[in-house]
Each structure stands twice: as C-alpha cells, then as structure tokens.
Structure 1
Amino acid sequence: MTARRHRSKLVATWLAFLFGSLGVHRFYLHGLRDVWGWLFPLPTLVGIYGVLRMRALGGDDLLPWFLIPWLGLTLSAAMLTAVIYGLTPDDKWTARHNPDGAPTHTGWATIIGVILALSVGAAVAVATIAFTSQRVFEYQQLRSSTAN
C-alpha cells in the first residue's frame, strides 16, 4: 500500500476556487477514483453548452433555460467547497487529509482564496436564481399568451 502524500489546504482551496466546477479539488484530495469528483464535469459542460446555445440561437430557444442553471449550481457548489476547505481548522484538516501528521498552517493566501470564493459564489448563486426565476416567469407569460 502506498503512503498518501501531504495534502495542502491552500492548494485544495485554490483548486476548488479555480477548477472546482470540474472536480479537480476532489481529484487532488481523493484521487481519480473519487465518484464525487466525476459528478462535477458533466453538469458544468451541460451548462456551458447551454450558454453557447443561447448565444448562438438567442433567448427564444427554451433548452438553454434548463441547461444554464446547471453551470450555476456547479460553480456555486465549487465556491462553497473552497470556503469550507479554507475555513476547516488546521487540526481537523491534518487529521482528515494528512495521516502522516504533518502540520497544516492556514495563511493569508488561503484566506484570500476563501474571500474570493465567497464573493464569486454569492454572485453566481444570486445570478443563477435570478436567471432561473426570469425564465420561469417568461415561460409562464409565453404559455398564457399562446393559450389566448
């Protein structure tokens, strides 16, 4: 059995912030066999496809209305994960991710990652809720105008 390498809280926080919607932070911590890590890329790619489709076909196409919120959800989840990683106490981080007992020290770079993740995550969550609510309202208006 191979000994696990040291896992840095700083690296995990920044990977979740920068590439979390693709599950890179999960692969860093748990390896490529991590099931949760593989659940991130598909909704992200589906959401990106929705954005590209809406840009190409416009807002009258209904499919992007369903696809784009998936991107917002994965981005919000990744930002929340970055915040959780960065705010995990050092002793709990060491016990959970570094069985060799190598100490972990939270520095300013980790805290800056948490602040950025919190800011971006809040903005993405609000934008996703606003986009989805607007599209539901527009769909109801479309249905009521075609029913008359």
Structure 2
Amino acid sequence: MSSGSPHYKSKTLATWIALVGGSLGLHRFYLHGFRDVWGWLCPWPTLLGLYGVERMRQLGQDDPMSWVLIPLLGAMLAAAMLSAIVYGLTPDDKWHARFNPQGPAPRSGWATIIGVVLALLVGAGVLMATIAFSSQRYFEYQDQANSSRPNQ
C-alpha cells in the first residue's frame, strides 16, 4: 500500500489551508488523511490557548493560568504559518514527486506566493507577540516576587 493518496494534492491549497486552519491541523488532514497522528495533536494546544485567552478576558491579566495557556496558542499559530511557508516554498518538482507521483506536475502561481507572504506576516507578528506577552508576564512576576521580599 502506498503512503500517498491517489487524489491530487495542490501545493497552493495546502499552503492556504495551513494559513487559515493550520493550528487545528487541517493542512495535515488534507495532505496525509484523517489517520495522521500529528494532525490530531494540533487542535488540543490551540484550544487550550483559546481557553487561556478567554480566561484572561474574564479574569484579567493577572491570571497566572492564562500566562501558561496563551503562549500555546501563539506557538501553534506560528507553527502553522511555518508549515504554510515551507509548503509554498517547496519546489514544484519536489512537491509533485512526494504528493502527486503519478499525476502531472503543474506549476504553482501567484496564489501560492501570496499565501507565503501572508503566512510570513502573520507568523512573524504572532511569534513576536507571543514572546512579548510571555516575557512581560515573566518579568512582572519576578518584579512582584522581588518587591514582596523584605529588604535585607
């Protein structure tokens, strides 16, 4: 039994699925089918991160649990954007050799490049925001711990 599906796998469509729904693993299901273990592992950290965002909206920025959960969402979004970039920048011949070995090898166009550019913009922004949020919370926690200690 071959590892590839007999259906045509579009590089452009895979790039856009990773861009739009990659944090939920939709791009993995498109390329590898519903038996893909990695695809099923993607939604859980994403949903936990969304729960962290909701906790912060309800309980405020001082909720320590949201400090842990929100970066999970950022990491999953950044990983999805990285997947979109890798898919979009994979050479057409290499893509078709892996996913469409029997079919024709059409060339990807501007839609793929636009998807890569958007993934780069979103991914860089999400990654910077996640690092900034995590760092801010960490240093605020350290400052609070230091200010509660008695002076020696």
Q: TM-score range by the shorter chain?
A: over 0.9
Residue in 2 that maps onto 1:62: 64
1:118 Cα deviation from its structure 2 partner: 0.3
Residue in 1 that maps onto 2:32: 30
Work out the CA distance in 2 between the residues paired with 1:51 and 1:104.
42
Q: Which runs of 5+ in 1 are unaligned?
A: none
CA contact (8 A) 1:6 1:102 kept: no
Equivalenced residues, count: 148
Work out the CA distance in 2 between the residues paired with 1:147 and 1:51.
31
Partner of 2:16: helix, strand, or coil? helix
Please say if 1:125 is aligned against 2:147. Answer: no
CA contact (8 A) 1:8 1:104 kept: no
Please say if 1:112 is aligned against 2:75. Answer: no
TM-score (norm 2): 0.94
Q: Which runs of 5+ in 2 are unaligned?
A: none
Task: Give matches, 1:36-47, under 5 Å.
Answer: 36-47=38-49
Partner of 2:101: helix, strand, or coil? coil
1:15 Cα deviation from its structure 2 partner: 0.1
Residue in 1 that maps onto 2:147: 145
1:101 Cα deviation from its structure 2 partner: 3.2
Question: Hey, which bits of structure 1, 4+ residues long, moved more than 4 A?
Answer: none
